[in-house]
């Protein structure tokens, strides 16, 4: 193989890596430890009825075949509840 004629295998492999879009952070069954500041690295419980008995702790970047997308309205409600709870603890 002459230099520059073919792309190295590692470079081709890296181009195929993509971020998943259906991860736990975007799932209705993900209950993060900190709903106000949750991100892909946040950990929390999976509360799906089939998985809850296992007490799974997952990160926002994990995923499974039971994914159900959380709607923005649900996220807003969860964050409002967390904010009220945080404010009541400060008093």
Residue 4 lies in a domain: no
User: What pLDDT digit, counting tens, does each position of 37-47 carry?
Assistant: 888 899 999 99
pTM check: above 0.85: no
Percent of the chain with pLDDT over 90: 43
Domain count along the chain? 1
Residue 40: give the domain boundaries.
20-90
Q: How far is CA 58 from the centre of its chain?
A: 8
**Sign of the Cα pseudo-torsion (87, 55, 52, 59, in order):** positive
Coil, strand or helix: which one is 32?
strand
User: What pLDDT digit, counting tens, does each position of 57-68 carry?
Assistant: 999 999 899 999
Residue 75 lies in a domain: yes
């Amino acid at each position: 193989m002459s230099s520059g004629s073919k792309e190295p295998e590692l470079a081709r492999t890296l181009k195929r890596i993509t971020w998943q879009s259906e991860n736990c952070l975007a799932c209705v069954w993900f209950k993060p430890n900190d709903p106000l500041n949750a991100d892909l690295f946040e950990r929390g419980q999976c509360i799906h009825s089939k998985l809850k008995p296992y007490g799974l702790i997952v990160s926002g970047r994990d995923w499974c075949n039971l994914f159900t997308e959380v709607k923005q309205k649900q996220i807003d409600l969860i964050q409002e509840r967390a904010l009220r709870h945080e404010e009541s603890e400060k008093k």
